[in-house]
Structure 1
Amino acid sequence: MLRCLCAVLLLGTAAAAQSEYPRLHDVAGVAADDVLNVRAGPGASHPVVGELAHDARAVEVIRVEGNWGLVNVPETVGWTSMRYLAPRVDGGIGNAPRLICGGTEPFWDIDIRQGQSATVKTPVNYEFGDIFTVGLLQRAYNPLEKWVLQGADGARDLSVVVARSYCDNGMSDNEYGFDATVIVTGPEGYVLSGCCHLSE
């Protein structure tokens, strides 16, 4: 009985730790004349597929396996040692300063600066975008972790629902840890679906 209880507690701890991701980190402990390797798999024996600068900031770790974290680098995704990644105080979705989402069919993106503004760009308005004044992301408590952001531009209302979930934008080999639905109601409203990543 005690062994079963310990196993449940360990599984619960692992699940809680994994639920902290995606999360922003800064590269730390890498010499100024060196880079942090990004590898094809979670281990030093895997080939190098990319690199991070010795002073890279706001690196989003999507998920972890052991001491390795999955990160996006240009045109691919790979694994890097968590030993050289320092978690940021403002690194979680609830307090990250910026969230960027996008999708295809149609191509669109939204740049969210919590407590300030959200700019939605679609093929119809890509030059300037629709700019909404927004509050902070609020946690919606249910078995699937979701966050909700609300805003307005005077004539229309904006709602963004972000779920912590695997997401593939269909445009690149990158992987994302957040799925998003953007809903604009009012004159010429629209609904968009895509993936998100944390930024600064």
Structure 2
Amino acid sequence: MKLFSTLLATSMLVAMSLPLSAAQVDQQSRVYSVTRINPNDNLNVRSGPGTQYPVTAVLPFNGKGVIATGKQATQGPNTWTHVTWAGVEGWVNQHYLTEDEQALPTRPQAVKPKTTTPKRVVMSCVGIEPRWNIHISATSVHVIDPEKKSYTVPVTFRQQSANHSSIAVIGGRKDQRMTQLFLQKVEACSVGNASYPYTITGALDERQVVSGCCRVINQ
């Protein structure tokens, strides 16, 4: 299996509600790492909980920060877990996931202060004249805009182009204002002397539009 070049463009993949051999159950959301996969292979992400469903994306053999959405299903001897990672959503075989102890949320003992900085950046985007930065994780978009204002938007919308699999849109609202990012996989996108594999056009906080380039920097 090859890692899809449209890593982020497949961000709209949503697991369908389909008949299961056992009832689907809710589980506490957890963070996992990919395990038991050879370095020259990847973990299949499927549209439903079972090998009979088509592969819609793949996770790298050493992928980290795989977030379980809370849904699990059983097919024969296998348990399938619905996950999201780098904007990709779908079902994976639980056998190939190991719970990331360092990333587990602290059990509720005291209220923790909220933070606006994403813990796991999976894609970094940049533009110049004027310079800006956008960091995209599986659940949030962190923006440092040309006016040097920093804000974080929860990702509430992900959709792939219906007729071009290398294009995707990601968006969310903050204080009733929408931030939308249009991403496309390309041969090369240049910022200064650096070359990137994705282009991005962003409508930031309904105030301004910027364009630039992105690269994946999995952590």
- Say which structure is richer in helix: 1
